[in-house]
Structure 1
Amino acid sequence: MEFFFATMIDLVISREWLATTNVVLACLLGIWIFRNRRLYRRSRAEQANQRDLIENLSEGIYRSSPAGRQLSANKALVKLNGYETEAELLAAAKNIGKEWYVEPRRRDQFRAILARDGFVKDFVSEIYRHKTRERIWITESARLVRDGNGRTLFYEGSVREITETVNRLKAEELLRKLSSQVPGGLVQLERNAKGTYELSYASAGFRTIFGLEPHESFSSPSRFLRMIEKADRRDFARALRASRDALEPFDMEFRAIAADGTNKWLRASAKPERVRGGVMWHGYVNDISVRKRNEMEIQKLAFFDPLTGLPNRRMFMDRMARAVGRCHDRAGCGALIFIDLDNFKTLNDTRGHDVGDEYLVQVARRLQACVREGDTVARIGGDEFVVILDIAGHDYAHTYRAAIMTANKVLAAMRGAFEIGQFNHASSASLGVVVFNGRDCQPEDVLKQADIAMYQAKAAGRNGMAVYDHLSMSPESDRYRLLNEFKAALGTDALELHYQPQMDDSGHVIGAEALCRWQHPEFGTLLPERFVPLTEQFGLIREFGNFVLATGVAQLARWQRDATTAGLRLAINVNAQALSSDDFVSNLSALLEAHGVKPGLLTLELTESIMTRDRRHIGNRMHALKALGVRLSLDDFGSGYSSLAHLKRLPFDELKIDGSFVADIESGESDRALVKSILGTARTLRLTAVAEHVENARQEAFLRAFGCDFFQGYHYSPALPEDAFAAFVQNRRQPAALTAAPRLRQSA
């Protein structure tokens, strides 16, 4: 019984436990179910969030089959391919490898990497935007997903479009290639809001210009500025500030020192723009050293004498204008010294141009040693130098004294012997000095005045100076103008020889006298009386005489080659000063030989003024001419210093009766007697007699009656140009027997 009750009690207790247990289990189950539902909801929410996140990622996310079928794609990938919905993309894309990649083999390369590594990272490819077929660039990363047995289920990964980046890189590469081929460098310089500078970009060409290694850092503008020549840094900084403030282009040429110490000329050009509260310049730097050297060489050729290195006429005129301007501004005076070397042409012709050039170089050095720093020494012509004294601000008296002192230094320097190789040259110079005030003059006027004064010094005997006197020399201005124009005409077509026929007593042409004519553009034809005195006064007679002699000998050569004029003589006037030149005989000999002219056809007419000179010297010179075979005539006989004693000692072949006597033989008994006497003297000395200025038949008859040999004057013809003279000879053509040379003196 006890067993029964115990059993019943146990049952009751078991039922209560079971109920309790059930309740507990039910509670636990409810809790588990609630928790799992919450976890489920959370999982679903997380999945939704993940899907939403994937859908809204900026990168394309996808799954694809190994065979190339697109399985899924987020919005970014759909948009990248040009579609509106995933379904539209999945329906259109059949084979990724064939439809997507520009290069079909690229898909195989992608799969090979996945099969080998299980993943691929940053795989760059050019693809088609699927719908529009636009070519774009992407970078792709993916992994391979397998099942428990290792079989490949699908690929999943991400795609990001990098077309803009690739294009930028391509542009940068193109820019790098282009910039490497141009002779300069590209640069970007930025000034930020804080006021500091930074080199944002410098091309390889920029580094090359400054001698830097390809990868050497050059980000610091201070290093760039230190490479600019110190003298140009301030101007560079000032120009950069002006460009920044006005936002105007920067353009400047400056000097720089490269890393290896090479000096260069550079040009920087850049355009500024506002950026981020500051300014950025986009520009270009070019090495212009070669151009600058060429420009400086051109400038040197344009403004400096290549032989002496002194300023030339162009630069002299510029500095002269500045000197006049300074005198005007400071109410002071300046001075100019005109220097002409005496007998330079003789040195040049006898010793050669090399010696002449070296002499000019040494002259330039001596002149520079005579002046102070700031004064200008220039070479403005062959043997013409000028000195501008930089003494503006002083009064006339002080300037005058300074100019005279400098001129004396120059004269002393020029008198010293010049050693040119093994040759010592004793020289001198003629100086013209002018003091100017800058108020009433132009640079050209000052130069003319100094030139006039120099010619005065030369006319006074050379080796000295003359100071321009504004009162006494001003009337010379017209003559100076004519002189300058004559100098320009010398040796040109403006000067020409005309030929006045010389006739024998049968009326036949036996020769001519050469007479110069100047075809002046304003005054017309000028006769020698107008310009020869200028050549004598201002020291140009030798140059003029050389021109006439060379032109006359050339004319004789042409006559010899023409049957009409062959055998004709030519008489040329020779100034005593020209005859005294040491090189006169040698120059004449060279002319005759060069043209192949028979010396006996040339007659040199000398005036009686030679009697007043060194007779022994003149006599030797005349005998040297006779040795050449040239004929000598005493011109204007009877009007000067002639005497029978002198005539006997000098080797003349001919006497030319002064025209003033011939003009008066019809009316003046004394003139007729004098002409008879001259003709008698000629017969006594066995000289040919020539009468000039014969104007009518009566004069000719009288002269012929008393033994005159030849005649010239307007009775026959005025002086004629070359062609007209040849026509005149043709009209008066004579038998060959009559063209024989006239009687010549048998002994000297």
Structure 2
Amino acid sequence: ALRTNEQRAVFVGVFRIALTGTLAFVWTLRGRVNVKSTQLQLSENRFSTVLNSVEAYIYIKDRDLRYQYANRMVADLLQTTETDIIGKTDSDFFDDKTCANLRQNDLRVIEKGERVSDEETNVTATGEKRTFLSTKIPLKDARGNVYALSGISTDISEHLHIQEQLNHARFYDTVTGLANRRLLLDRLEHALANAQRTDYEGALLAIDLHDFSVVNDAFGHQFGDQLLQEVARRMERLIDEADTAARLGADDFVVVLENLNGDREQAILDARQWAHALIELLHEPFEIDGKHYVTSVSIGVTMFSDTEGGVEVLIRNADLALADAKQEGPHTIRFFNPSMQENVSRRVNLESAMRNALENNHFHFFVQPQVDSQHHVTGVELLMRWSDAELGYVPPSEFIPVAEATGLIVPMGEWLLGEAARLMQRWQEDPLLRDLTVAVNISAKQFRHAGFVDMIKRIIQQPNVNASLLELEITESMLIEDVQNTVRRIAKLNEWGVRFSLDDFGTGYASLSYLKQLPIYQLKIDQSFIRDILTDTNDEIIVSTILGLGRSMGLEVIAEGVETAQQARRLNEMGCAKYQGFHFGRPASPVEWEARLRESRLTIYAGGN
């Protein structure tokens, strides 16, 4: 029994030692596990922190395409938590089309082990649309089997939007949204190639808004931009999907009409019909900022078959046709013809020669007398003349339109006013001529020029220049273009003594309301009504009406273009008291007329003698 007790004691001691060692090992192992677990958790937290700080959408999907991991960016995109995403599929977050596209790329990774990089456009269940650049790679176990995919996606929606804006700005007009010159040239190249391939005719139309600069001056550039936008919208209503409308700048528009007709003559008729439709559509009033505005256009047309020189030549031909249309006035359509190129060459030579004439003082002027009913000279009108060494005598009807179009009319007009001042100074030394008025025609472009009023002020402030004897002739069209500015400028010059006459009266659009506003002193009956006054009842009625209007408004009236004694006698019978025309004297140099007036003591007899 004693031996047994001793053995038991030894066994218990050994067991205790073994148990103590085992417990120590377990506690040591558990401690190590806890340390490892803590380290792993810290590592996972650090890894998760890193992934959540990346500006990208990072996720892991298993073979069933269920999410096993998603970072904060993914959760924010799907408007849920990272935990809630786990175990769910794309069908829980995206629309069917998006799910089908995502599944197609995901299966390439899961089933084929491919690395996939692609743009993916996703629409969430809430309808939000985003575009991502996604890269997806397979995750493989030790045996090389794919058990999941890892994806990283970058949102490129804003980048694409900016790229789209830049692309739009590169090819489209920023004001109207129409094609710009770059896109027009590209479209026109394709249109010409298509016409050659199909034998269907096409047309290029150059379109210009009349007096658009006046709109900006009168109502501001915002109003002008809105008008351009409305014009563009109306153009788009008329064109087909294959056609192109473009804005090249300011108020210059271009339309390309394709596939008009296989027959050239019918295609021309179709292009003309389209142009007429556009004129009518654009003539309908525009309502902008509570204001009603009516515009008018001129259109130049060239057919694709008019040229073999390519796009630039085609555009030039359309511009030539447009220039011809603009000379005829609003609502005019002109088709290109080869003679227009000859006119352009002549025009280019004229412009160059006119600049040279200005620089070298080669212009000169004539004067033509204005007389009262007793044939007594009351004043003269200065008329610009030009003879060039190479071109010879160039009539005003040819060089004045070129001067208007090129802007040379402004310095030329200033030169003529300077000559008028020198003539008045010379006549102030002559008791017989010192009271004669001196009339100068002012163009619309010259009148609207920013320095016009100051230029007139400098002229009338010169010694021996009597401002009350200076008469500026303006046209009715200037009243329509910018009434308020016109009235303001005329009133200012009136304060300094300058007088105004309304030239070519009866041919424009002046209404009584405009005449009441304008501080003018005289109406000038256009010569077109005088020419047939003896044979055309309508002309006689118009002249009689103008004379009556002048009397009722306290305005003087002068008839221009009086060429015969019969015309002068009839006008006198109708109550006209002032005349100008070949019957009383043709334009001649001031020196010649000075001698004649001194000899006749300011009286002109029948036939201009």
TM-score of Structure 1 vs Structure 2, range by shorter chain: 0.5 to 0.7
Q: CA deviation at 1:208?
A: 2.4
The aligned runs of 1:120-159 (5 Å cut-off) are 123-124=30-31, 138-139=32-33
Shift of 1:257: 0.8
Of 307, 322, 341, the residue aligned with 1:474 is 341
The separation in 2 between residues aligned to 1:476 and 1:280, in whole angstroms, is 78
Match of 2:240 in 1: 372
Higher helix proportion (structure 1 or 2): 2
Could you give the per-residue CA deviations for residues 217-259 of structure 1, whole angstroms, max 9, x where no partner exists?
A: 466776499658669949x9689979x999787253x432113
Report the Cα distance in structure 2 between the residues aligned to 1:484 and 1:283, rounded to whole angstroms: 69
1:179 aligned residue: 51
The answer for the alignment partner of 2:595 in structure 1 is 676
The change in CA–CA distance for 1:392 and 1:466 in structure 2 (over 3 A counts) is closer
Deviations 1:129-157 (A, max 9, x none): xxxxxxxxx326xxxxxxxxxxxxxxxxx
- The whole-number CA distance in structure 2 between the counterparts of 1:585 and 1:181 is 66
Conservation of the 8 A alpha-carbon contact between 1:225 and 1:233:
no
- What are structure 2's unaligned runs of at least 5 residues? 1-10, 366-381, 385-395, 410-442, 523-559, 605-609
- CA–CA separation in structure 1 for the residues paired with 2:364 and 2:340: 41
CA-based RMSD: 6.1
Which whole-Å CA distance do the structure 2 matches of 1:550 and 1:424 have between them? 27
Q: Tell me, yes or no, if the aligned pair for 1:184 and 1:209 is still in contact at 8 Å.
A: no
Could you list the per-position Cα deviations for residues 527-586 of structure 1 after superposition, in whole angstroms to 9, with x for gaps in the alignment? x99975335579997674346x423334456899xxx97997999998866865434674
Q: Tell me, which stretches of 5 or more residues in structure 1 are unaligned?
A: 1-42, 48-53, 55-60, 67-72, 74-118, 125-137, 141-160, 490-494, 503-512, 516-527, 630-639, 666-671, 686-748
Give the letter for the 1:262 counterpart: E
Pair 1:618–1:286, CA change in 2 (3 A) = closer
Matches within 5 A, 1:147-226: 162=36, 169-187=41-59, 201-217=69-85, 223=91
Residues 679 and 121 of structure 1: CA distance in aligned 2, closer, same or farther (over 3 Å) = farther
SS at match of 1:207: helix
- Tell whether the 8 Å contact from 1:228 to 1:257 is kept in structure 2 after alignment: no
Alignment of 1:489-504 (within 5 A): none
- Alignment TM-score, normalising by the size of structure 1: 0.48
1:327 Cα offset (Å): 3.5
SS in 2 for 1:430: strand
Alignment of 1:533-544 (within 5 A): 533-534=401-402, 536=404, 544=445
CA contact (8 A) 1:552 1:572 kept: no
The 1:559/1:625 distance shift into structure 2, 3 A limit, reads same
> Greater relative contact order: 1 or 2 (C-alpha under 8 angstroms, separation 6 or more)?
2
From 589, 595, 606, the equivalent of 1:661 is 589
Alpha carbons of structure 1 residues 461 and 501: separation in structure 2 relative to 1, 3 Å: closer
Q: Name 1:590's counterpart in structure 2.
A: 488
Rounded to whole Å, the distance in 2 between the matches of 1:330 and 1:408 is 26
- Give per-residue Cα distances to partners, 1:28-48, cap 9 Å, x unaligned: xxxxxxxxxxxxxxx9xxx9x
Determine if contact 2:207/2:300 at 8 Å carries over to the other structure. yes
Contact 2:75–2:85 under 8 Å retained in 1: no
Task: Tell me how many residue pairs correspond in the alignment.
Answer: 473
User: 1:448 and 1:292, CA in 2 relative to 1: closer, same or farther beyond 3 A?
Assistant: same
Contact 1:268 1:286 in 2 (8 A): yes
Cα gap change, 1:342 to 1:555, in 2 (>3 Å): closer
Partner residue of 1:553 out of 444, 453, 457: 453
2:296 counterpart residue number: 428
Q: Give the 3 Å change call, closer, same or farther, for CA 589–262 of structure 1 in structure 2.
A: same
- Report matched runs for 1:78-477 at 5 Å: 123-124=30-31, 138-139=32-33, 162=36, 169-187=41-59, 201-217=69-85, 223=91, 227=95, 233=101, 250-252=117-119, 254-269=120-135, 276=144, 283-297=151-165, 299-300=167-168, 303-305=171-173, 307-328=175-196, 330=198, 332-347=200-215, 349-350=217-218, 356-391=224-259, 394=262, 396-397=264-265, 399-419=267-287, 424-436=292-304, 440-469=308-337, 471-476=338-343
1:649 alignment counterpart: 578
What's the TM-score once normalised by structure 2's chain length? 0.57
Distance (whole Å) between structure 2 residues aligned to residue 600 and residue 448 of structure 1: 47
Q: Quote how far apart the aligned CAs of 1:460 are.
A: 1.9
Check the 8 A contact 1:303/1:311 in 2, yes or no. yes
Which structure has the greater CA radius of gyration? 1
SS of match in other structure, 1:550: coil
CA displacement at 1:175 relative to structure 2? 3.4
- After superposition, the C-alpha distances for 1:579-605 in whole angstroms (9 at most, x for unaligned) are 654346743453578xx8785486889
- Asked whether the 8 Å contact 2:133–2:153 carries over to 1, the reply is yes
CA distance in 1, matches of 2:93, 2:360: 70
CA distance in 2, matches of 1:419, 1:339: 21
State the AA in 2 paired with 1:551: G
What SS class does the counterpart of residue 480 from structure 2 fall into?
A: coil
Secondary structure of 1:380's match?
strand
